[in-house]
Amino acid sequence: MRRGGGAFEEPSPSGKLPSAWLATSLSRLPTMPGAGRQGKRTSSGIVASPGTLCSRRPARSGRGVVRWESAVDYRKFLAQDTEVVLPYFGGTRLDARDRPLRLAAPLESPGWYRFRIQGRDATAGARAEPGPVEDLPRQRGYLLEDRLIIEGARAAELFFLPAEEPPRFAPVLARRWPSGELLFDQLEFESEAEEAVRRALEEEGPLVLVKGVPAPLRAAYGYALLGAASERLHVPMSFAEARPYVLQAAQEGRAGAEAALRALAAERLQAQREIEELLRRQRAERDAEVRRARQQAHLQAQRDLDRQVQAQREGREDELRRHGFRGVEVAGRRARQALEDAGARVHATRQLESGLLEVTYTFLGERFISVVQAATLQVVDSGICLGHPPRDELVTLDSLPSVIKEAIDTGRLVKLRHA
C-alpha cells in the first residue's frame, strides 16, 4: 500500500475493494483538521468536527483507488456580507423583513439606509431611496400631526411622511412593516366628511351634528380638540393619555375637551403629591435607620458598623463608584438591553447621585423618562402613575414596558414627566 498526496491506494485486479481491507484502511485514515473532543465518528469510521461537511464514505476511482475527499467548512458561507436597503426607526435595533439585526450605535435620524449585513450585525451606509412596500399589509386611517388615527381610536406613529405636509385629517394609506411600524405610502381621495370635520374644528363645536363621519375620523377630531385644549390650559397630554377622552371631546366639543384635561391634571397632581409623600416617608425611614445605626456604633467597632450601614443603604453603589466610568457604562448597557428586549427604543441614559440612573426611551410611540437603581435596575420613579398610593418599588426596568402597555390598553396611562 502506498501513501502520498493525501490519497491511499490499493490496486485490485478486479477493481473491487475487499470489505476487510476497506475497514482496515478506513480505521487508519487521519483525523480531519479541526476534529477534537467535539468530533463524531461517522458510519464509515471518518472523524468529523462541527462546522465540517464530508462524505459518509471515501470516493472510489475506476481502478479501485480510495481517495480522501476534501472537506468544506460551512462557516465561511455564514461570514459572507450582503447589502440591503432597510428602513431605520431609531435606537440600535434594526428590523429586516425576516429577522432582527443589531447596530453598533444609533443613527442620526430615521429613514431608508443601505446596510451591510454580516450575520446578525448591520453597518449603516448612505441614505437610499425607499424600497418596495406594495406587498406589505395595508393600514388606512386619518392623518393628525405625525400620527395615523386608525380603528379603535388608536394613534399610531407614522414614519417617513412626505416633504410637503398633507392637510389635517387627510385620508392616508400606510403599510405595516413586519416589526409593526407604519410607513407612509400615499394620500387617498377625500370625501365630503374630511372638509366638514375641518370646518367643525374651526368652531370647536360638537361633532354630533355632522353626518357620515367614520369612527377613526371622529376620533381624530377628538384628538385635535384635546390638543388645542392642552395648549390653551398648559396641561401636557400625550396621544396615549388622550385616547380615553377622544369620544367625549368629539361629542361635547371644546367644553368636553377642557373637562377631560382638568380631570387628567387633577389625577396627575394627586399622583405627584402621593409620590412626594412616599419619598418623604422613605427619607424619614432612612434617617431613622441612620440614627439607630449610630446608636449601635457605640457598641461595636465604628469602622465595621459604618461599612454595614453603607451596604444596607446603598447596596452595590460603592461597586459602581470603584469601577468609575466603566461601571456607569455597564449600567447603561444593561438598561438599554433590558428595554430593547421588551420592544422599547432607548435614547439616552444619565447618571444621577446616590447610585441612580435616568433612562429616556420610547415605547409604543410614547416617550418616557424613568429613574432606576443603577446596580439592580429596580425602578425608583417610573415616570407614570402606578396607582394610589404609587408602588414604583414593585417594578423593575425590564418589566416596566409591560406595565406601560397595560396602562395604555386600559386607558389608564398618566405620565408624570413629559420630555
**pLDDT tens digit sequence for 167-176:** 999 999 999 9
Q: Provide, rounded to the nearest whole percent, the portion of the chain with pLDDT above 90.
A: 50
In the prediction, which pLDDT does 293 show?
82
Determine if the peptide bond prior to 130 is cis (ω within 30°).
no
Confidence of residue 56 (pLDDT cuts 50, 70, 90): very low
Among 59, 113, 66, 64, CA closest to 86:
113
Confidence of residue 157 (pLDDT cuts 50, 70, 90): very high
* 151 vs 26: which has the higher pLDDT: 151
Which of these three, 111, 127, 143, is where a domain ends? 127
Lowest mean pLDDT among 30-39, 100-109, 169-178, 223-232: 30-39
In the prediction, which pLDDT does 299 show?
75
Task: Answer whether residue 176 is part of any domain.
Answer: no
Region 105-111 average pLDDT: 93
Give the type of residue at 97. Answer: R
Task: Answer whether residue 311 is part of any domain.
Answer: no
239 and 327 share a domain? Answer: no
Confidence of residue 227 (pLDDT cuts 50, 70, 90): very high
Cell numbers 408602588: residue: 391
State which of 9-13, 156-160, 397-401 shows the largest mean pLDDT.
156-160
Task: Answer whether residue 305 is part of any domain.
Answer: no
419 and 323 share a domain? Answer: yes
Q: pTM value?
A: 0.64
Task: Answer whether residue 297 is part of any domain.
Answer: no
Region 61-77 average pLDDT: 52
Rg (CA), the chain: 33
**Cβ pair 16, 63 in contact under 8 A:** no
328 and 418 share a domain? Answer: yes
Give the separation between CA 398 and CA 411, rounded to whole angstroms: 22
Whole-number average pLDDT of the chain: 81
411 and 326 share a domain? Answer: yes
**Cβ pair 323, 355 in contact under 8 A:** no
Q: Is the pLDDT of residue 10 over 50?
A: no
In the prediction, which pLDDT does 331 show?
81
Cell readout for 158 is 407614522
Confidence of residue 235 (pLDDT cuts 50, 70, 90): very high
In the prediction, which pLDDT does 418 show?
76
Confidence of residue 229 (pLDDT cuts 50, 70, 90): very high
Q: In three state form, how does the secondary structure of 130-183 look?
A: CCCCCCCCEEEEEEECCEEEEHHHEEEEEECCCCCCCCCCCEEEEEECCCCCEE
334 and 412 share a domain? Answer: yes
Q: Is the pLDDT of residue 263 over 80?
A: yes
Query: Could you report the per-residue pLDDT of 328-365, keeping only the tens digit for each?
Result: 678 888 889 989 988 999 998 998 888 889 999 999 98
DSSP reduced 3-state for 341: helix
Task: Answer whether residue 272 is part of any domain.
Answer: no
* 64 vs 285: which has the higher pLDDT: 285
In the prediction, which pLDDT does 244 show?
94
52 and 92 share a domain? Answer: no
Which of these three, 213, 230, 262, is where a domain ends? 262
**Cβ pair 175, 135 in contact under 8 A:** no
CA 269-218-257 angle, to 5 degrees, is 25
Among 219, 141, 147, CA closest to 174:
141
325 and 339 share a domain? Answer: yes
In the prediction, which pLDDT does 219 show?
96
In the prediction, which pLDDT does 137 show?
96
φ, ψ of residue 101 in degrees (nearest 5)? -125, 170
Domain that includes residue 55, residue range? 2-76
* 397 vs 25: which has the higher pLDDT: 397
Confidence of residue 318 (pLDDT cuts 50, 70, 90): low
Among 349, 410, 416, 341, CA closest to 382:
416
Task: Answer whether residue 324 is part of any domain.
Answer: yes
Lowest mean pLDDT among 30-44, 227-241, 263-277: 30-44
54 and 95 share a domain? Answer: no
Lowest mean pLDDT among 119-123, 149-153, 276-280, 303-307: 303-307
Confidence of residue 9 (pLDDT cuts 50, 70, 90): very low
Give the separation between CA 308 and CA 311, rounded to whole angstroms: 5
Task: Answer whether residue 390 is part of any domain.
Answer: yes
Number of structural domains found in the chain: 4
Confidence of residue 150 (pLDDT cuts 50, 70, 90): very high
Which of these three, 262, 279, 304, is where a domain ends? 262
333 and 380 share a domain? Answer: yes
Task: Answer whether residue 270 is part of any domain.
Answer: no
**Cβ pair 384, 361 in contact under 8 A:** no
Which H helix or E strand runs over 199?
helix 192-203
68 and 106 share a domain? Answer: no
378 and 332 share a domain? Answer: yes
Region 201-207 average pLDDT: 91
393 and 325 share a domain? Answer: yes
Cell readout for 280 is 418623604
Give the type of residue at 332. Answer: G
